[in-house]
Structure formats: C-alpha cells, structure tokens
Amino acid sequence: AVEYNFFPYRESATKEFTVAYYVGSLHNQYLEETIYNRNSETRMLQSVNINYDVRQPWGRIEAEVEGSQYFFDLEKYRLDFETALSLRVFKGFFVSFSADAAVVRDQLYLPKGDASLEEILLERRAISTDYELGFSVGVSYTFGSIYNSVVNTRL
C-alpha cells in the first residue's frame, strides 16, 4: 500500500486529505458453493481510497470515495461513496448524520440457489444487487481522557 496526505502530518489531528493505493490478495472460504461453483478462492485485487476528514471543536466532516477491482476480471469492481457529519451539541455529546452509496459489481460470494423471504428479511443470505444506499442518524457521548482520540492515522 502507498498513501499520500496532502496536508502536513503535524495537522493530521485536525485535517486530512489522503489518497491511498493498495494491491494485494484476498482469500475467501465460503460457507456454501457460490454461483461461480467455488467453495474457496484467492484473488488479486487493487483498491484506491480518497478520504477528506476535518475535525474541529464544533464537530467533524468526512467524505470518502473508494474503488476496488479484481485483476482477473476488470468488470468485477465496486465503487463506494460515504459522507458523514458529526455536530457537537455540548462537551462530549454529538449528533451524527451519514450517507453512503455503492455501485456493486463484485459479488463473487453469492451462494447458489434461491433465497427464502425469511433469509432476505433477516439478512442471512446475500442476494444479487447492483447498488446499495444507506442513511443513518445517531447520537454519541464521549468521556474520559482528552488524549483518548489521539491515534496514528498513517497506514
């Protein structure tokens, strides 16, 4: 993996704008035989991640775009778009909003056969899809040391 932050590292506690490129292998062991007649497989893939993150006393804004692609079939790819906003109401208490969307063209893991309505509703079995959308709203309260959120943001 290779990563580049457009802001100096000394500013990484408050803002980041990073681009990362990954190349590697992925091994999957499936519980059921897939629509591609596989019980396990190892595939090479590449991924690009672009992330913008701003952390201020009033809250946080984050936007991310990620794309991945298998080398064996360039039409097997995925694009993810995520954004989040967290607003500080008072010390330690935040209200958060997030949205995400994905273009899905890499579902190698889909099991053979039809899924029952119960399996679909309980999300116990994956089904074929081309897109995913999501939205969430939440609250959080953080307490403890002022150094709790100090992390190494590098790869």
- For residue 155, pLDDT beyond 90: no
- Tens digits of per-residue pLDDT, 103-129? 999 999 999 988 889 988 888 888 889
pLDDT at residue 51, rounded to an integer: 97
Task: Say if residue 148's pLDDT is above 70.
Answer: no
Name the helix (H) or strand (E) containing 120.
Answer: helix 117-121
Q: What is the mean pLDDT of the segment spanning 25-49?
A: 94
Determine the pLDDT at residue 140. Answer: 93
